Structure 1
Amino acid sequence: MHTLSARGIGATLAMALVLSIAGSDRGHAQESARAYVVGVENLDYLPAYGIEDGAYVGYARQFLDAFAADQGLRFDYRPMPVRRLYASLAAGTIDFKFPDNPNWNTAFVADNAVVYSGPVADFLDASVVRADRIDIAPDAVKTLGTVTGFGPWPWTDRIEAGTVTLSENADFAALVRQVLAGRVDAAYASIAVVNRVLDQDLNQPGALVFAPGLPHDYGSYLMSTIAHPDVITQLDAWVETNANRITALKDEHGVEHGVDPPE
Structure 2
Amino acid sequence: MLRSFIAALFSTLLSLFAQADTFIVGAQNIQYYPHYDFSQENDKGLAWAILEAYADRSGHELIYYDMPVKRLQLEMLKGNVDFVYPDNPKWYNQIIPASDKFFSTPLTRALGGTIVNPDDVGKGLDRIQRLSIPLGFTPVNWQSRVDQNLTRLVTVTDTLSALYLLKKNRVDAANLEYSVTQYLALTSPQYGPFTLDPALPHDNVGFMLSTINHPEVILDINNFIRTHGELIESLKQKYNLRDPETILQELRERFYP
**TMscore range, shorter length:** 0.7 to 0.9
Shift of 1:37: 0.6
Q: Which residue of 1 aligns with 2:58?
A: 71
For 1:215, give the aligned amino acid.
P
For 2:213, give the aligned amino acid.
A
Unaligned stretches of 5+ in structure 1? 1-28
For 1:77, give the aligned amino acid.
Y
Greater C-alpha Rg: 1
1:213 is paired with a residue of what secondary structure?
coil
Q: Which residue of 2 aligns with 1:137?
A: 124
Q: Which residue of 2 aligns with 1:252?
A: 238
Q: Which residue of 2 aligns with 1:199?
A: 186
Matches of 2:235 and 2:243, distance apart in 1: 12
Q: What value does the CA root-mean-square deviation take over the aligned residues?
A: 2.2
Shift of 1:55: 5.8
Q: 1:98 aligns with which of 78, 85, 89?
A: 85
Shift of 1:122: 1.1
Equivalent residue runs for 1:111-190 within 5 Å: 113-190=100-177
Contact 2:76 2:83 in 1 (8 A): yes
Contact 1:145 1:184 in 2 (8 A): yes
Contact 1:121 1:256 in 2 (8 A): no
Unaligned stretches of 5+ in structure 2? 1-15, 250-257
Change in CA separation of 1:158 and 1:107 when aligned onto 2, cut-off 3 Å: farther
Change in CA separation of 1:136 and 1:91 when aligned onto 2, cut-off 3 Å: farther
Matches of 1:159 and 1:53, distance apart in 2: 34
Shift of 1:54: 5.1
TM-score (norm 2): 0.83
Change in CA separation of 1:111 and 1:128 when aligned onto 2, cut-off 3 Å: closer
Determine what percentage of the aligned residue pairs are the same residue: 27
Change in CA separation of 1:108 and 1:153 when aligned onto 2, cut-off 3 Å: farther
The total of aligned residue pairs comes to 232
Change in CA separation of 1:204 and 1:175 when aligned onto 2, cut-off 3 Å: closer
Q: Which residue of 1 aligns with 2:21?
A: 34
Contact 2:108 2:207 in 1 (8 A): yes
1:67 is paired with a residue of what secondary structure?
helix
For 2:34, give the aligned amino acid.
P
After TM superposition, the structure 1 stretch with the greater mean CA deviation from structure 2, 238-247 or 91-100, is 91-100
Q: Which residue of 1 aligns with 2:210?
A: 224
After TM superposition, the structure 1 stretch with the greater mean CA deviation from structure 2, 111-120 or 236-245, is 111-120
Q: Which residue of 1 aligns with 2:12?
A: none
Shift of 1:219: 1.6
Matches of 1:198 and 1:259, distance apart in 2: 21
Matches of 1:90 and 1:50, distance apart in 2: 23
After TM superposition, the structure 1 stretch with the greater mean CA deviation from structure 2, 250-259 or 160-169, is 250-259
Shift of 1:109: 5.7
**1:20-59 deviation line (CA, Å, top 9, x unaligned):** xxxxxxxxx9xx7301110011122111111455567111
Contact 2:113 2:196 in 1 (8 A): yes
Matches of 1:219 and 1:195, distance apart in 2: 18
Contact 1:144 1:187 in 2 (8 A): yes
After TM superposition, the structure 1 stretch with the greater mean CA deviation from structure 2, 138-147 or 236-245, is 138-147
